[in-house]
Structure 1
Amino acid sequence: MYNYDPYEFLAPVPKFTLTSGSFADGDAMPPAQVNPGAHADGKDRSPALKWSGFPAETKSFAITMFDPDAPTASGWWHWSVANVPVQVTELSEGAGSGPATMPTGALLLRNDAGTSAYMGSAPPPGHGPHRYMVVVHAVDIPTLDLNADSTPAALGFNLAFHTLARARITATFEV
């Protein structure tokens, strides 16, 4: 594993609690959350998530899953969701399958494979373990100025100016 933590370079913000019914922080990614091309039992199902303890000023949430260990200069975005309504504090497993399965008002962006859905972990064979950082960002405005064609990097740029607090868990996977 590498030591690079992309969140170290961002302005520090308070933390809140994020848990998953699909895996615990530090666990290996289970097959349901893995891409079918990387594991015979892979299902590309977004993890079940639940969060609490975010600031009272929160107006919406964003959810991301990032692999900083991908063999690129920019990592790999597996999942990016903006404008999750503030009253939504959990997602069931598989909710990231597409725009129709997300909460009303949420904006599901394309992942780095080009699909508007969750993409499970899929490190290159023999590349070693990769970290998959699942993060919920508490946002200070109800909607970020993004659209379905916006990139995960554009979401990240907006979050640099609108994140009140951040919660994260990390799973690993290797082929």
Structure 2
Amino acid sequence: MGTVLNGEVEQKGELSLSSPDTGDGGRLPDSTGKANGNLSPRLEVDGVPDDAESLVLVLDDPDAEPVAGHTWDHWLVWGIDADVNALPEGWEGEGATVGYNDYLEHGYGGPAPPEGEHRYRFKLLALDSSLGAPGYTRKTRLGSVIAMNADVLASTQIDTTYDAEQGTVF
């Protein structure tokens, strides 16, 4: 089922997401890997529309589909304060709602490709409302909640990579 959170996110508005740890298309640090510290990278946010109420952040791995049978969800956070301009390394979602990843763990679950290099998409959406969805909501369901209860004012995506050689296979 396709929602705004599934697949690629197109640039809408002036919203931008970046990381001092990696550029768009760059390699994630070893410390972000599931077996190497499992710390989310530092992220910087800019261009949030003035009328935005909250932000949604997703990290997924579309290259996992041949092995897992679907895009692997690594991180899902919503209800992020629209005034945020940076998320520190290892941010655990304080002040926001943190969902479950496909490791069936609450919070960030770092990259752990079984072999080779995988692409990891960080997606950021600025919404005109707070969703109020419970923390057990998964990505596709959250996309449906957005479609029914919010307008996406702005969106952006950056792509990064992580190689199996960067850490022990999960």
Q: Assess same fold via TM > 0.5.
A: yes
State the number of aligned residues: 155
Residue 80 of structure 2 corresponds to which residue in structure 1? 84
Residue 44 of structure 1 corresponds to which residue in structure 2? 38
Deviations 1:18-50 (A, max 9, x none): 1112211111121011110xxxxx111011111
Say yes or no: does 1:172 pair with 2:161.
yes
TM-score (norm 1): 0.80
Distance in 2 of aligned mates of 1:14 and 1:30: 29
Match of 1:57 among 51, 60, 63: 51
Percentage of pairs with the same residue: 29
Say yes or no: does 1:146 pair with 2:133.
yes
1:94-173 to structure 2, matched below 5 A, reads 94-96=90-92, 102-104=93-95, 106-125=96-115, 128-141=116-129, 143-160=130-147, 162-173=151-162
Runs of 4+ aligned structure 1 residues displaced above 6 Å come to none
Distance in 2 of aligned mates of 1:15 and 1:79: 23
Q: What is the aligned-residue RMSD (CA, Å)? A: 2.0
Structure 2: which 5+ residue stretches go unaligned? 1-5, 165-170
Structure 1: which 5+ residue stretches go unaligned? 37-41, 97-101
What residue identity is the alignment partner of 1:113? Y
Higher RCO by CA contacts (8 Å cutoff, separation 6 or greater): 2
Distance in 1 of aligned mates of 2:14 and 2:113: 28
What residue identity is the alignment partner of 1:32? S
Distance in 2 of aligned mates of 1:164 and 1:72: 32
Distance in 2 of aligned mates of 1:73 and 1:164: 31
Deviations 1:82-125 (A, max 9, x none): 101222221100003xxxxx232x00001011111111111112
Distance in 1 of aligned mates of 2:119 and 2:40: 15
